[in-house]
Amino acid sequence: MSLDDAQIVNVNIPQQQSPNNSSSQEQIQSKSWRTNSLQEPGFVDLGSKRVPHGSRQGDVDSERFSISMSHREINDEDARLVYVNDPLKTNERFEFAGNSIRTAKYSVFSFLPRNLFEQFHRVAYIYFLIIAILNQLPQLAVFGRGASILPLSFVLLVTAVKDAYEDWRRHRSDRIENNRMCSVLVNEKFQEKKWKDIQVGEIIKFSVDDTIPCDAVLLSTSDPTGVAYIQTINLDGESNLKTRYAKQETLSKIPEKDMINGLIRCEKPNRNIYGFTGTMEIDGKPLSLGPSNIVLRGCVLKNTNWAVGVVVYCGRETKAMLNSSGAPSKRSRLETRMNREIILLSVFLVALCMAVSVCAGVWLKRHESELEILQFYRKRDYSEPEVENYNYSGVGMEIFFTFLMSVIVFQIMIPISLYISMELVRVGQAYFMIRDDKMYDETSNSRFQCRALNINEDLGQIKYVFSDKTGTLTENKMEFKYASIFGVDYSGERTNFEGEQRGYCIEVDGQVWRPKMKVEVDKELLELSKTGNSTKAGKHIFDFFLALAACNTIVPIVVDTSDPAEKLVDYQGESPDEQALVYAAAAYGFMLMERTSGHIVINIQGERQRFNVLGMHEFDSDRKRMSVILGFPDGSVKVIVKGADNSMFGIIDNSINLDIIKATEGHLHSYSSIGLRTLVVGMRELGVPEFEQWQSSYETASTAVMGRVALLRKVAINLENNLEIVGASAIEDRLQKGVPEAIESLRKADIKVWVLTGDKQETAISIGYSSKLLTSNMRRLVINSNSKMSSKKSLEDALVTSKNFLASEDEDTGGSDGNTNSVALIIDGTSLVYILDTELEEKLFQLASNCAVVLCCRVAPLQKAGIVALIKKRTDDMTLAIGDGANDVSMIQMADVGIGISGQEGRQAVMASDFAMGQFRFLVPLLLVHGHWNYQRMGYMILYNFYRNAVFVLVLFWYVLFTGFTLTTAITEWSSVLYSVLYTSVPTIVIAILDKDLSRRSLMTYPQLYGAGQRQESYNSTLFWLTIADTLWQSIVVFYVPLFAYWKSDIDGSSLGDLWTLAVVFLVNIHLAMDVIRWTWISHASIWGSIIATCICVIIIDVIPVLPGYWAIFELASQGSFWVCLLGIQIAALVPRFGIKMVKQHCKPSDIQIASEADKFGNSMELGGQEIEMNPARR
Amino acid sequence: MSNVTTPPMNPNSSPPRKINSHRPTYSRFTQQELPACKPILTPTYVISAFMIVTVVFVPIGLASLFASRHVVEIVNRYDDYCAPYGSRSDKVRFIQSDADKTCNTTITVPKHMKQPIYVYYQLDNFYQNHRRYVKSRSDQQLRNKNYENDTSTCKPEDSVNGTVPIVPCGLVAWSMFNDTFSFSTNNNVKLPITKKGISWKSDRDHKYGKDVFPKNFQNGSLIGGAHLNESIPLSAQEDLIVWMRTAALPTFRKLYGKIEVDLKAGDTINVIMQNNYNTYSFNGKKKLVLSTASWLGGKNNFIGVAYLVIGGLCFVLAMTFTAIYLVKPRRLGDPTYLTWNRSPAGH
């Protein structure tokens, strides 16, 4: 604490002394908001998971932010100087960006060069380009100009059209955005101005429900205390209201009358939406500015009639715009493996080219003496007066040229088109994932979101799932459950008023006000609460609910309903726990109706009462409690404190009511052991001298310029002591729907589920039981240590125990059912501190891999990432992290696949994630169904593309052996080029998007089928080499059958080329058809359509009279041998593959094979009819 | 065979939607539940597939073999005896000289040959598919008089002294085969050879111009082969048209003409040849081939043998699979074969 003070003082002193002086120290590093969020320590145990943003008296965030940059100060070079209400002077020295935004990338003129430049960032296109350029050299011109440029230009054109369309849409939305209106102070009057004309330094005014056009520091608001409520849904998706404050010093100024002059000195524009530091000098008085003083572009002003602010960042420099870049890109496991195989293919390519060029050299050497008069070579050119070598530059050069030419001819050995196909396929898969109505969340009205487009297939190979608890496994919708009031436990029968009374409501001015959410209430407690202060129990209950209604930061908002006589009271606040408590208090007749910074109005059993809020000490993660000082209508003053049990019992007076305290502790224990979140409430009446003493120190502290937070904390700690216990509340964080079933499925799929939570151990364990993560026959190993030595010892013990246990289990059951008895590891954050990043990590890993379940409690955000890293470093297994809060961001980014739950807790997790969805249970269809499909489809597509291209290249290669190694292609150059672009590309993409090896039902019924992806069954080296062998055989058949059939005949090159073209295209398409599992009309259309398209293309090429192959296809097709060859090739090439496939299917059927047979023949007896019933297709 | 896992959604049963609901609109396509045929290869299918191949392939193979056996083919290599014995350089010198290159031989017809009898010349080791060679031609020039100067692709045989274009230009035309054959029976009755219609009709009609006449052809210092009659348009120069259809493989035949009378077994035929074409410089063989044709073309057993082999193999496979299915039957879709049911300690 004292260290913090020192740093804060250090930060602030220079600002105070020399605000205009450029006393430069170190440079400010603009920190990305992500880094910042990682630094926030574990403030997770109480209700509020986030540090409140809008602390009025002290800016917790900003102070922490300053601390993290300790001893640094904004000097003039790194600062932005904004002269309030003087845009000219502000922009004099530096031209700050105007407020016009430009999300569009291109203008009409820059489109072509920039778009091309961006497209050529891809390796694939550069490869295309190099090959095309090589082909333009006259020495190497294998293909004609047109043919060689066609594929590249086609791809470039398609991409350019797509980019242009997207950009046009961006231009349009930019225009709309830039032309919105806002009122700006010009010549002491507020005038309407277009958004794009707003400049830094201007004073702008916005009224309720206005969208804020730029980042502005608040000067004053309609609220006398300077509060403005904003909604940041456009910025981070959080829908609750946040409070922002104008500085007290500027509050009273009226911009039109009082000339506001001042200087704001703030950091350079950066992406941190939760941080802002700066100073404002008004009337020669320096004031410090924090994130609670700034409103950001895109936010909406709510519940505040108007607010006035100074523009500090505009346009592209606003935090919203700086944050609008996309998700981080990851590369999928399959693609990484594929790249290895592609290197192998490049080696093949080089080998083929070497072989051809060496053979060509040998051939030339052997025929060197004859070359001059060989009719088909003619080394010399006699047509010119001077006889010289024609196109011949020595054997060495010829070898070199041959090598380059063969690279051009065999270029598609490297399946560059595969990268483009993969992108298309992923888009298609994403489309289906987004459209899946089984992953649509009704409650939040949100679809599945694919934020990263390149790791779809990773979803099929997950081995570890790391899950957050609150908001992920649970709904993070807190519900008040039980209360222990002055040692009496009210956890009796629940009643809800559905139907009979429709909850508690009151009448105000002839209107019915009712809380927005209904709470189940305890009958007995309800009766007692109505008795009021008359009985002793009634008094305690009164105190308890008054504390719940008063001690919070909730703002009641009255919402109209369709019925004009009825209004709903919506409690807005940042902590769902507080919301739950206030709703509960309202249900028991203590309805919070109004909150301003000075007073609150509570309707107590129908009677409106006003309490003065004399002071408030907000929640912070050191104290783990908050307190409010309330002036009662009768003139007495009380301090009400609410906090976590361990922080509260320390400050409760043990000398009185010891038995009550004991009883409460007992109740707390029983609550937390059934997974409830508990809070303890204490209260004390303040005597006049004590109150006055507190008040003076509170005022000093809250007006202090520097170290305000620390001072206030001291004041709070001095005040919060010797409390009298009032009671404890238990809030249920309900499990999300379907979580136990989902975890069961994941476990069956052999996915290890680890839960990482900030909650305390008992809560975590109880949630573990209710979510079926832990079962009663599991052996629990608990590690709670607080030193390195003890961690080491408990780790070693646990390791031995787990090994012994597993060994004995194996003996006992003979390995009959390994699932029922297993080990669960429960470890807490303190132990992890000593284990992670030390040599103990290895032991923890060994232990964890012996355990079926791992539960980590009280872990800080960075530790979550550390645990994911622990697994990632040591295994090849794929990891998935799923979470919903800011504290899960690091874990989500660390894991191979990060999933954000778009639920109650804001959108930071979603922003950092690769995929986002509404409910935890969607993980099951996502992984087991879509993941499985994606993986299987992508794996097959990669192998097929390797095969498809290699078989064609090999056919070309065999022919080269019969042309004196000169790279003539019998297949026309147009067919060579169109082969991978048109003849064979569509079916592979369509099949990779649409084919399903198993039905959704089978995959959901048998989660074990997921193992195929984990074992890499669809793509591995064995399959790769088998494919290559098959390719070799098929290419031999395609090439040599016509060769021998037409040997010593008068067949011409073009005809034979056409035969090869058709044979190979038919073959690869039929090969694909043989592997298609589910034939829809689209698959039929694409495969047979491709074959027909090929025939049409071949015919078109052959009706052009100036091509050498004119009419060849018709002459060819008139001969019987053509048809006989074509048929023979298909069968001979495919028989081995078919035979091996059938043998394998029969003798060593894979699980997928059996399941798909069962799927088809519907062996309902074995599948178990009831099991199917359990998973009916949800409509 | 249609696999319908879920019935189509009844629109009335869906919950009333909010205006701005993000619920994906239901369609069988988006839910990946399009009606599909899902063929599973049961043992019956597999065995019958192999049997069908056998049933189709064996007859075709037999028919091909039969056709091939009925083709009568006479092959006569003449490049060796039509040149003086001695070293290769002697032969090259001979063929380049102005000496008389007439050469006689007699061939005996082994079997009755039904007309039309095709007369081919066969060149071995001649790379008509060599990259330098196939590119050295101008199809534009052959087709259209106006493209006479379009000789850029014809190097090194594009023009005389670099100015006057050669028609037809390029190595392909330049190297045209120029041996000639004439046939007579042993009682000196001339056997007429039809040289009309030996090229593709499409080539004569559309690919070679009726108004394109040879120009400056074979005027260079190095004579590659045949001379052309400058008064006959290219479309009528059938030998050229045949030659210009460059062969696919280094051993190839080209049609020389057709004999349109039957030849009886035991007939001897006198052949008078002009052995002009130089294949000696690269050890190429020249052969004269007389052959009848079947529906499959010339004499070639490969297709027949290949079909019989494939047919036989599939028969063997069909039998093998029958055996496998009988010896080790497996009920399709039997869950007891699933790995986690088979190995007790599945996971």
Question: Residue A764 — pLDDT band, cuts 50, 70, 90?
Answer: confident
DSSP E strand boundaries for chain B: 73-77, 102-108, 117-123, 159-160, 164-165, 180-185, 190-191, 193-194, 252-259, 268-274, 286-291
What residues of A form the annotated binding site for ATP? Answer: 468-470, 578, 619, 642, 677, 757-759, 858, 864, 887-888
Non-local CB neighbours of B294 within 8 Å, separated by 6+ positions: B67, B68, B70, B71
The pLDDT > 90 percentage for chain A reads 22
Query: Is the confidence at residue A643, as pLDDT, over 80?
Result: yes
Distance CA(A922)–CA(A915), nearest Å, equals: 11
Question: Residue B14 — pLDDT band, cuts 50, 70, 90?
Answer: very low
Q: Is beta strand A823-828 parallel, antiparallel or unpaired with respect to A853-857?
A: parallel
Distance CA(A1074)–CA(A1131), nearest Å, equals: 12
- Closest alpha carbon within chain A to B6: A1177
Residues A360-391: pLDDT tens digits? 999 999 888 888 778 888 887 776 666 677 77
Mean pLDDT over each residue of chain A, to the nearest integer: 81
- The tokens for A816 are 């009959």
Q: Give residue A320's pLDDT.
A: 76
Distance CA(A131)–CA(A111), nearest Å, equals: 25
B79-87 average pLDDT score = 84
Q: Give residue A503's pLDDT.
A: 60
Q: Classify B341 in phi/psi space as left (phi over 0), alpha (psi -120 to 50) or beta.
A: alpha
Q: Give residue B346's pLDDT.
A: 39
Query: Is the confidence at residue B329, as pLDDT, over 50?
Result: yes
Cross-chain Cβ contact A436/B295 below 8 Å: no
- The tokens for A370 are 């004859």
B55 inside 8 A of chain A by CB: no
The amino acid sitting at A1078 is R
CB B75 within 8 A of CB A1149: no
Residues A670-721: pLDDT tens digits? 887 777 878 899 998 888 888 889 888 888 887 766 667 788 888 888 888 8
Q: Is beta strand B193-194 parallel, antiparallel or unpaired with respect to A823-828?
A: unpaired
Query: Is the confidence at residue A19, as pLDDT, over 50?
Result: no
CB A218 within 8 A of CB A228: yes
**Nearest-CA distance from B187 to chain A in Å?**
32
Distance CA(A568)–CA(A586), nearest Å, equals: 12
Distance CA(A960)–CA(B162), nearest Å, equals: 33
Query: Is the confidence at residue A542, as pLDDT, over 80?
Result: yes
How many Cβ pairs closer than 8 A exist between chain A and B?
A: 321
| Top-confidence residue, A1157 or B74 | B74
Q: Give residue A259's pLDDT.
A: 74
Distance CA(A750)–CA(A55), nearest Å, equals: 46
The amino acid sitting at A1070 is I
Query: Is the confidence at residue A222, as pLDDT, over 60?
Result: yes
Residue with tokens 């489809």: A937
B3 inside 8 A of chain A by CB: yes
A118-125 average pLDDT score = 76
Selected for mutation to probe chain A from B251, B340, B341, B343 (highest A CB count within 10 Å) is B340
**Nearest-CA distance from B188 to chain A in Å?**
30
**Nearest-CA distance from B233 to chain A in Å?**
17
Query: Is the confidence at residue A303, as pLDDT, over 90?
Result: no
Q: Give residue A13's pLDDT.
A: 31
- H or E element, residue B28: none
Cross-chain Cβ contact B248/A964 below 8 Å: no
Query: Is the confidence at residue A6, as pLDDT, over 70?
Result: no
Q: Give residue B285's pLDDT.
A: 92
Choose the weakest-confidence range: A574-583, A702-711, A1125-1134: A702-711
Distance CA(A386)–CA(A392), nearest Å, equals: 15
The pLDDT > 70 percentage for chain A reads 86
- The tokens for A586 are 């309202």
**Structural domain boundaries in chain B:** 40-71+296-336, 73-292
Residue with tokens 């809250």: A702
- H or E element, residue A342: helix A333-366
A482-503 average pLDDT score = 65
Question: Residue B85 — pLDDT band, cuts 50, 70, 90?
Answer: confident
Which of A71, A98, A81 shows the shortest CA–CA distance to A198?
Answer: A98
B97 burial via Cβ count (<10 Å: 0-12, 13-18, 19+): exposed
A1127-1145 average pLDDT score = 94
Query: Is the confidence at residue A97, as pLDDT, over 60?
Result: yes
A1159-1169 average pLDDT score = 55
3-state SS, residue A782: strand
Question: Residue A927 — pLDDT band, cuts 50, 70, 90?
Answer: very high
B161 inside 8 A of chain A by CB: yes
Query: Is the confidence at residue A907, as pLDDT, over 70?
Result: no
Residues A602-636: pLDDT tens digits? 888 888 888 988 888 877 766 778 899 998 888 88
Task: Please report, for chain A, how many H helices and E strands are present, in that order.
Answer: 42, 39
Residue with tokens 């398209």: A1093
Length of chain B: 347
Question: Residue A327 — pLDDT band, cuts 50, 70, 90?
Answer: very low
Question: Residue A77 — pLDDT band, cuts 50, 70, 90?
Answer: low
3-state SS, residue A970: coil
Q: Alpha carbon of A370 to those of A32, A380, A1012: distances in Å? A: 73, 11, 61
Question: Residue A238 — pLDDT band, cuts 50, 70, 90?
Answer: low
Q: Give residue A905's pLDDT.
A: 55
Choose the weakest-confidence range: A133-147, A623-637, A718-732, A912-926: A133-147
B22 inside 8 A of chain A by CB: yes
Query: Is the confidence at residue A25, as pLDDT, over 70?
Result: no
Query: Is the confidence at residue A117, as pLDDT, over 80?
Result: yes
Chain B partners of A967 at a C-beta cutoff of 8 Å?
131
Q: Give residue A736's pLDDT.
A: 85
B57 inside 8 A of chain A by CB: yes
| Top-confidence residue, A495 or A1000 | A1000
Question: Residue B345 — pLDDT band, cuts 50, 70, 90?
Answer: very low
Residue A723's Cα: distance from chain center in Å? 45
Chain B partners of A383 at a C-beta cutoff of 8 Å?
155-162, 166, 220
Residue with tokens 């007692």: A528
Mean pLDDT over each residue of chain B, to the nearest integer: 86
Q: Give residue A44's pLDDT.
A: 32
Q: Give residue B10's pLDDT.
A: 41
| Top-confidence residue, A662 or A7 | A662
Query: Is the confidence at residue A16, as pLDDT, over 60?
Result: no
A245-264 average pLDDT score = 79
Query: Is the confidence at residue A104, as pLDDT, over 80?
Result: no
A578 burial via Cβ count (<10 Å: 0-12, 13-18, 19+): buried
Is this complex's ipTM strictly greater than 0.90?
yes
Query: Is the confidence at residue B54, as pLDDT, over 90?
Result: yes
Chain A partners of B39 at a C-beta cutoff of 8 Å?
1079
Distance CA(B62)–CA(A1168), nearest Å, equals: 54
Question: Residue B33 — pLDDT band, cuts 50, 70, 90?
Answer: confident
Cross-chain Cβ contact A1161/B346 below 8 Å: no
Chain B partners of A1140 at a C-beta cutoff of 8 Å?
none
- Closest alpha carbon within chain A to B63: A1124
**Nearest-CA distance from A223 to chain B in Å?**
34
Active site residue A877: no
| Top-confidence residue, B269 or B13 | B269
Percentage helix, strand, coil for chain A under 3-state DSSP, each rounded to 5: 50, 20, 30
| Top-confidence residue, A231 or A114 | A114
Query: Is the confidence at residue A480, as pLDDT, over 60?
Result: yes
Which residue out of A61, A215, A468, A489 is catalytically annotated?
A: A468
The beta-carbon neighbor of B36 closest among A1078, A1125, A1177 is A1078
The beta-carbon neighbor of B26 closest among A437, A1049, A1154 is A437
Which of A123, A257, A235 shows the shortest CA–CA distance to A185?
Answer: A257
- The tokens for A851 are 């355990």
Determine phi and psi for A1061, rounding to 5 degrees. Answer: -55, -55
Residues A947-975: pLDDT tens digits? 999 999 999 999 999 998 989 999 998 89
The beta-carbon neighbor of A1107 closest among B40, B139, B225 is B139
CB A491 within 8 A of CB A924: no
Report CA torsion sign: A143, B161, B225, B222.
negative
| Top-confidence residue, A32 or A890 | A890
